[in-house]
Chain A
Amino acid sequence: MDPVLDIQRLSIRYAGAPAPAVRDVSFTLGRERLGIVGESGSGKSTVGRAIMRLLDTAEITADRMQFEEVDLHNAPERQMLDVRGKRMSMILQDPKFSLNPIQRCGHQIAEAYRTHVKCSKSEARARAIAMLEQVHIRDPERVYDLYPHEVSGGMGQRVMIAMMLLTDPDLVIADEPTSALDVTVRLQVLRILDGLVRDKGIGLIMISHDLNLVRAFCDRVLIMYAGRVVEALDARDLDNAQHPYSRGLLAAQPRIGGTREPLPVLARQDSWLEPLEAQA
């Protein structure tokens, strides 16, 4: 099967920044679930936003940035308007900030649909309510008319998921979709997202700093450090990661039943900047 997304040697430098935030990142994505993990500032979110073409002022270079038949690197903004939100979308981190505070939740969901499909207001409303049901919201008619500050974080994130999956995209980028949520609702929200992604056969990029989460919900994992991909491997092989940085990350994880010794901290080395093949 053709890959949904093919990225080769993507580099991104923010305007005015001395060094690029992302360097030579390459990967392909089929209808699978790919996790990108790394610490804060490793460039993982920047990659997601570059794929959505949201970085207006940054300087982006790439050998190849292909989304299905769309050349993301050179597509005019007019074409991107047709791609964004319809064929690829993005779930943002915190519903407290990512939903428009003065518009009703339902209206915001329906807007996503009406932007790409010509239809009546009532049809968009029906679609939005059906979608709210799919994200397991029990009383969708009521939630439709609520303002974002009137719903909980978990429900807000489900509203976000509904909004982003309503148009049946081929690619969804989830940028830390649960790190702003209470621990108790994280799993629930992730299961909903996971179920929809599997049912609809969507390619998913899950950006996260949580190794366990990525292990549980992804097929493959990219590990990023300082703007580079240092290692790519199958999720089930995560424990056997070779790169010293990946191993350091794994070692720094607390375990139930583990020793009570202080957890090891990362002792950074310049050689980590080299990808795995170069590591002797």
Chain B
Amino acid sequence: MSMTRDIPAPAPRRRMPQSLIAARNIVAFLTRSPTSLFGLVVLALLILVALFAPLIATHDPYAQDLQATLQPPSGTHFFGTDELGRDIFSRLVHGSRITLTIISLVTVVVGPLGLFFGTVAGYFGGKVDTVLMRITDIFLSFPSLILSLAFVAALGPSLNNAIIAIALTAWPPIARLARAETLTFRQADYISAARLQGASAARIIWKSIVPMCLPSVTIRLTLNMATVILTAAGLGFLGLGAQPPLPEWGAMIATGRRYMIDSWWLVTFPGIAILCVSLAFNLLGDGLRDALDPKQMNKR
């Protein structure tokens, strides 16, 4: 213990505040543009609602009340009730947890996976590159929804399988991007310097290349989240994602469809929720691109 206290460790101590400052700068930049601000607010709201869902919801999202089916919006049921008398507002609130779960799981899988394939392919080049990029090309030659459909069909319809399917289809663009970024850094002098010092390939990739790829990968992930949400909702709508009675927004629209003509609120509110969250991610990704792109920052 005393040993470590004697040796000053400036690197990590200096880096932490710096990255914090960077994060603060980015947030400050984002709040200046009204569209990105909207994105930030909606996402913050989504997280808060998901965290405190039981406190915010006015009813049990699964509690049926056959006396009060298809009630229009009112003081007791803000967004009305569905065909089984369940409170739509409460279901939406609890549904935000499902949305957040999908987003976080997909990010956790797709980010590292894409970064790994992309940086390895880009750093080693040659045969490794050819093989890895062929694989991504094959995945990229399908529209993501169709491929997710095929995977879900194979694995059986459920929320977990939908998440797996989406993650399986969402990594190739990230890998492509990470590879392109890596190719631009690979020849840089500081990479050669690290190599000459005897750093292993794994260390160079992890310490020098991955951090350089992170900004663009983050932007891409954010923009992709919009697509992920829409794909998840689409799977739910087709009955291949979250299964009833789970309050997943896409599935809610699917069941509400039958009562749409007389009870507009069944489909309207879940749809608006999906639209808002996916729009928020798009606006935020757009704003992040402006914030993190040095070329745009320096423009006069």
Contact = CB atoms under 8 A, between A and B. Distances in A.
Nearest to B299: A16
Interface in B272-300: 300
User: Majority SS of interface residues in chain B?
Assistant: loop
A160 to B, nearest CB: 27
A260 B300 CA distance: 42
A252 to B, nearest CB: 29
B197 to A, nearest CB: 35
A16 B296 CA distance: 13
A135 B300 CA distance: 38
A1 interface: no
B86 to A, nearest CB: 55
Nearest to A16: B300
A15 interface: yes
Contacts of B300: 14-17
Interface in A1-50: 14-17
A16 B300 CA distance: 6
Interface residues of B, number: 1
Contacts of A15: 300
Interface residues of A, number: 4
Interface in B173-221: none
A17 B298 CA distance: 11
A203 B300 CA distance: 32
Contacts of A16: 300
Contacts of A14: 300
A214 to B, nearest CB: 29
A14 B298 CA distance: 13
B104 to A, nearest CB: 39
A136 to B, nearest CB: 40
A76 to B, nearest CB: 26
B153 to A, nearest CB: 46
A150 to B, nearest CB: 30
Nearest to A58: B300
B29 to A, nearest CB: 15
Interface string A214-226: 0000000000000
A15 B300 CA distance: 7
A16 B298 CA distance: 11
Nearest to A17: B300
Contacts of A17: 300
A14 B299 CA distance: 11
B149 to A, nearest CB: 41
A17 B300 CA distance: 7
A16 B299 CA distance: 9
B12 to A, nearest CB: 36
A87 B2 CA distance: 81
B297 to A, nearest CB: 12
A15 B299 CA distance: 10
A16 B297 CA distance: 12
A265 B124 CA distance: 44
A59 to B, nearest CB: 12
B8 to A, nearest CB: 38
Nearest to A14: B300
A157 B300 CA distance: 29
A239 to B, nearest CB: 37
B43 to A, nearest CB: 30
B296 to A, nearest CB: 13
A14 B300 CA distance: 7
A51 B300 CA distance: 21
A179 B300 CA distance: 25
A180 B179 CA distance: 34
Interface in A229-280: none
B160 to A, nearest CB: 51
A167 to B, nearest CB: 32
A50 to B, nearest CB: 15
A174 B300 CA distance: 25
Interface string B153-172: 00000000000000000000
4 contacts: A14-B300, A15-B300, A16-B300, A17-B300
4 smallest CB-CB distances across A and B, nearest first, come from A14-B300, A16-B300, A17-B300, A15-B300
Interface of A: 14-17
